[in-house]
């Protein structure tokens, strides 16, 4: 079945540094990928939708200059948290849409801790 690989699974960084998270669709082409943020014991909040070869569409309230999204190929999307601060600490999950089966496959998530 469809598999989405997300790396790293966890990362600790110092305040003020940038962190890049990768999301790859391993066995299908994903023209659209999604990035979510999840706080403890809460639901997934959609941050942005990225389409291959075009600029990402950000949800209201999400700072596009802070959360840089690149979707340069049909199998790879990246989320870069720039100048990270402790309040950016969260669980980030990516998802890729497979139009062949109309499904959304999720990565395993990245636990970001900013100290």
Partner 1 sequence: AQSVTQLGSHVSVSEGALVLLRCNYSSSVPPYLFWYVQYPNQGLQLLLKYTSAATLVKGINGFEAEFKKSETSFHLTKPSAHMSDAAEYFCAVSDQGYSSASKIIFGSGTRLSIRP
- Write out the residues near partner 1 by the rule CB under 8 A: 4, 6, 32, 34, 41-44, 46, 49, 51, 54, 57, 91, 93, 95, 97, 99, 102-109, 111
Question: Which residue lies nearer to partner 1 by CB, 51 or 82?
Answer: 51
Q: Which residues face 99 on adjacent strands?
A: none
- Supply the minimum distance, in Å, between the C-beta of residue 57 and partner 1: 7
Q: How far apart are CB 49 and partner 1 at their closest, in Å?
A: 6
Whether cis (ω within 30° of 0) applies to the bond prior to 8 is yes
Query: Where does residue 37 rank: exposed (0-12), middle (13-18), buried (19+ CB within 10 A)?
Result: buried
φ, ψ dihedrals at 87, nearest 5°: -70, -10
- Cβ count near 11 (within 10 Å): 17
Using the minimum distance from each CB to partner 1, give the nearer residue, 82 or 89. Answer: 89
The minimum distance between CB 13 and partner 1, in angstroms, equals: 18
């Amino acid at each position: 079945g469809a598999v989405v690989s997300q790396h790293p699974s966890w990362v600790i960084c110092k305040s003020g540094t940038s962190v890049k998270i990768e999301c790859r669709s391993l066995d299908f082409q994903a023209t659209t990928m999604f990035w979510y943020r999840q706080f403890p014991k809460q639901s997934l909040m959609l941050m942005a939708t990225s389409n291959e070869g075009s600029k990402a569409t950000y949800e209201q309230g999400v700072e596009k200059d802070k959360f840089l999204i690149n979707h340069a190929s049909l199998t790879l999307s990246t989320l870069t948290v720039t100048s990270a601060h402790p309040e950016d600490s969260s669980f980030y999950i990516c998802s890729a849409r497979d139009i062949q089966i109309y499904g959304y496959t999720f990565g395993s998530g990245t636990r970001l801790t900013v100290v």
